[in-house]
Structure 1
Amino acid sequence: MARAAKTPAKSSGTGTRDIWLAAGKRTPFARVNGALAGYDALQLSVPVVKAMLAEGERPDLAVWGAVIPSLMWSNLAREVLLDAGADASIPAFTTVMACSTSMAGAFQAAGMLDDRGRSLALVGGAESMSRVQVGLGPELSDDLRRLLEARDLKARLAALGATRLSDIRLHIPRVVNRITGKSMGEHTEEMAKGWSISRTEQDELALASHRGAARGWSSGFFDDLVIRLPEATKDTTVRPDTSLEKLAKLAPSFDRTSGQGTLTAGNSSPLTDGAAGLWVATDKGLDRLPAHLPRVRLVDYEINAIDLRTEYLLMAPAYGIPRLLARNGLTYDDIGLWEIHEAFTAQVATHIKALEDDGFVRDKAGVTARLGRFPRERMNPNGGSTALGHPFGATGARILSQAIKELAAMPAGTWGLVSICADGGQGTMALLRN
């Protein structure tokens, strides 16, 4: 069992004022082009915010985010609040940090709460992978703008004549890194090969994720976290009937030619539609929320980045977790609950392997303390992103709300740690305590 009574060294993570996180609501998560394909990010967000506003008092601040850009709005957070019928005097801003978006939003809100008019914040995010907006290339956009601005026929003809065939192309957002041009899956294939992560190890983690998620749904764990929509009443990505045999039959998804590919549709998070939120509060703000809402303290947090040109793209949390624990005087065994985002189970397995490598922790993370064995049995008890899905902007709020409810049911003093890797070689981690 994790040791719950240990008192950490003083940390500057959340300042001198206690900051609390309270569980919010989310939509069911649905596979791309599935049950929620008719919703855009704004439409997915509105019912979540409505459900949260119906439970709590007026927030003093809202932070919301989405990763995939839209030309239909510039400040998604403000539009969501207005469409949800919230008080129009609530300030709101939009944030983005790839898969860490709504976790980073929680940290931003925590830093803005001062009990001088701001003690309660509504935070979250959404992603509609089914309704990605296609854009024009910059050259064609310039040509069309000149055409629309032309005042007479001669000017219109001149604008049309300036358009080159090579300018006529569309920009379709892709899940690739701009610097490398590689997809997240391609990067993770490189990570899996470099760290010798086997296909079997990945499939075993995927199976545990689906079993945990299925157990969470059947036990009623998700009932008060997930709102019902007409098109879906529960997550559509969970596979209760999967098995190692079924997972082993799936073909590689990213490395299809070398014969060495290990990442498949079964051990990778699916492209997903969904929205999720949570509450961030001071002691005063917490008094404005219903007593039944699970809540835990945000003790400290870490935001870090690695050089993606010399390190594997999704490795940032393997650097950040040891630093977060070391400055709070904790070891892996002190953490009673681990929630690690499963972009790919190969990435999770690599992080665990790195965390247990004393040389990596010392030489890469710069932590000399011996942190011990990673307790795999305490990780993602109600499933992770492999099973539940991964709407980029919503995942941070989903994983935090889930961890809050799990940790709040554990003995007082129990620690929890939540970790998310993000595109661009970045990561966010939250240290929580019941």
Structure 2
Amino acid sequence: MHRFPHPVFVAAGLRTPFGRGGGALADYDAIGLSVPVAQAMAVRAEPDLVVWGSVIPNIGWSNIAREMWLDAKLNPNVPAFSVVLACSTSMTAAFAAAGMLGGGTDLAMVGGAEVMSRPPIALTADASKRLTDLFGRNPAAALAALQSLQPQDYLLPVKGWSNRITGRTMGDHMEETAKAWHIGREAQDDWALKSHQRAVAGWNNGFFDDLVIKLPELGRDANPRADTSAEKLSALKPAFDRTSGMGTITAGNASPITDGAAGCWIANEAGLARLPENTPYARLIDYEIAAVDHHVEGLLMAPSYAIPRLLARHGLRFEDIGLWELHEAFAAQVLANVAAIERPDWIHSKTGIATDFGPFPWDRVNPNGGSVAIGHPFGATGARDLSQAVKELWTRPAGTRAIISVCADGGQGTVALLERV
């Protein structure tokens, strides 16, 4: 069974190196960081459609896709629109584009960007209304009022992109989930170490060379650490739960604040023929978007609903998936979601699916590292995951399948099923 009436393909695109927060790429904004990616991809082929996204709001634009396309000085007759679904933004862009193929749209460029180093500072709704009303009546008084604004008049990212409803960060929520699923510190640090080792090896063996464009400020990912070790990771203090003595999430086993942009291609057969012959691609068989009550299940647990639904729809077990590309918002998030889908009783109670999917193949997960090591610029991660997975699949035999999973703030998540053809 295929979701689409005609074959749809994901082809590997390009991305910037991912920079450390406050580091080499911090002087860009999300549009500026997207421009070189769009330009480099457009050299390979001109798309019929652009779908792009960014998560952190910016009052300077409303449609980043169109703005970055025009700033890139590319064909203004190519339409472009934006999407946002937290950390799943650019994967959602891929799904949106896939559903729009046909009728002259054969090739879409999709992706996203985030400069987490430069979150905008905004006014609260009350302060904004007070000033705009005053500007309408008395501009001079409004200018004077600007100079007397108080700290409480600003929306400052003091807690770093907390969930609006709970007022708590993803790390705060993930600490709760880690405790609920008994995901210990040692297991988290062990997974983080593997992520760094694999990402460093991927760079050293040339895996990323044709996936990443060099920028004047940065030539390769800045976050993977060749010098990390179990001892160094275990010495770090908890970053979120600092008072109970039971905190397990640290700066070492969580994805770091990161700046970056990434894109990939969505195509039908006609669009695929327009890409260079050596472009890795895979067929997009199906996808699932899930949402859970994050007050009950945990903020980042939606993949544990989406993955069983997607597999069951195709009669697949874990062993039938040759590659798992799992976004690592936190090492604990990967471990908790897999712990859930390894339990047939939990799957049945939550999704109604009465299937034992078998033992989970940990040796097939993120062979070239994940977000804990590479970094997680919110809007870019989905496209990075898709391109990376497609290239990894390209080395496997025809028929090999991959699952790509991205959790998202708000209790949501996206999962794709790809197949090497």
TM-score, scaled relative to structure 1: 0.94
Q: Which residue of 297, 300, 318 corresponds with 1:314?
A: 300
Letter in 1 for 2:33: L
SS for the counterpart of 2:413 is: strand
State the superposition RMSD in angstroms.
1.7
- Name the counterpart of 1:172: 156
User: Which segment drifts farther, 171-180 or 203-212?
Assistant: 171-180
Could you tell me whether the CA contact under 8 Å between 2:287 and 2:416 is conserved in 1? yes
Deviation of 1:165 after TM superposition, in Å, equals: 7.3
Q: Classify the secondary structure of the residue corresponding to 2:17.
A: coil
Which residue number corresponds to residue 322 of structure 2?
336
Aligned residue in 2 for 1:63 = 51
The Cα shift of 1:160 comes to 7.1
Equivalent residue number for residue 351 of structure 1:
337
Q: Name 1:204's counterpart in structure 2.
A: 190
One-letter amino acid of the counterpart of residue 180, structure 2? G
Which residue of structure 2 lines up, in the alignment, with residue 227 of structure 1? Answer: 213
Q: Is residue 295 of structure 1 aligned with residue 281 of structure 2?
A: yes
Q: 1:286 to 1:146 in 2, by over 3 A?
A: same
CA 363–83 in structure 1, closer or farther in 2 if over 3 Å, else same: same
Q: In the alignment, is residue 42 of structure 1 matched against residue 54 of structure 2?
A: no
Residue in structure 2 matched with residue 52 of structure 1 by the alignment: 41
C-alpha separation in 1, matches of 2:60 and 2:146: 28
Contact persistence 2:131–2:145 (CA under 8 A): no
CA distance in 2, matches of 1:276, 1:29: 9
Mapped partners of 1:140, 1:425: distance in 2: 30
| Matched letter for residue 382 of structure 2 | G
**Structure 1 residues 379 and 85 mapped into 2: Cα distance closer, same or farther (>3 Å)?**
same
Write the distance in 2 (CA, Å) between the matches of 1:206 and 1:339: 15
CA shift for structure 1 position 179? 1.1
CA contact (8 A) 1:28 1:226 kept: yes
366, 374, 399: which one aligns with 1:388: 374
C-alpha displacement of 1:284: 0.8
Q: Assess, with a 3 A threshold, how the Cα gap between structure 1 residues 242 and 149 changes in structure 2: closer, same or farther.
A: same
Determine the structure 2 residue equivalent to 1:5. Answer: none
**Residue 365 of structure 1, CA deviation:** 2.4
Question: For the residues of structure 2 that align with 1:351 and 1:168, how far apart are their CA atoms?
Answer: 38
Q: 1:144 to 1:217 in 2, by over 3 A?
A: same
Letter in 1 for 2:88: S
Amino acid at match of 1:54: V
Q: Is the 8 A contact 1:21 1:297 kept in 2?
A: yes
Distance in structure 2 (CA, Å) of the matches to 1:138 and 1:298: 42
1:295–1:404: 8 Å Cα contact kept in structure 2? Answer: yes
TM alignment of 1:28-427, pairs within 5 A: 28-56=17-45, 58-114=46-102, 116-150=103-137, 156=141, 169-173=153-157, 174-427=160-413
Counterpart CA distance in 2 for 1:264 and 1:137 is: 31
- Kept in 1, the 8 Å contact 2:305–2:347? The answer is yes
Structure 1 residue 150, shift from structure 2 partner: 2.4
- CA shift at 1:163, angstroms? 12
Task: Pick the aligned partner of 1:22 from 7, 11, 35.
Answer: 11
Give the conservation status (yes or no) of the 8 Å contact 1:137–1:167.
no
C-alpha contact 2:318 2:360 (8 A) present in aligned 1: yes
Q: Is the 8 A contact 2:131 2:146 kept in 1?
A: no
Residue identity opposite 1:172 in structure 2:
L
CA, structure 1 residues 165+20, in 2 after alignment: closer, same or farther (shift >3 Å)? closer
How far apart are 1:256 and its partner, in Å?
A: 0.4
Measured against aligned partners, the alpha-carbon deviations of 1:122-157 in whole angstroms (never above 9, x if no partner) come to: 00000001111101111221222123222687xx48
User: CA distance change for structure 1 residues 354 and 145 in 2, over 3 Å: closer, same or farther?
Assistant: same
1:214-266 CA deviation, whole Å, 9 max, x = no partner? Answer: 01000000000000011110000001111111100000000000000000000
Distance 1:309 1:129 in 2: 26
Which amino acid in the other structure matches residue 171 of structure 1? L
| Gaps in structure 1 of 5+ consecutive residues | 1-9
What is the aligned length?
418
3-state DSSP class of the match of 1:387? helix
The two structures have a TM-score, normalised by structure 2, of 0.96
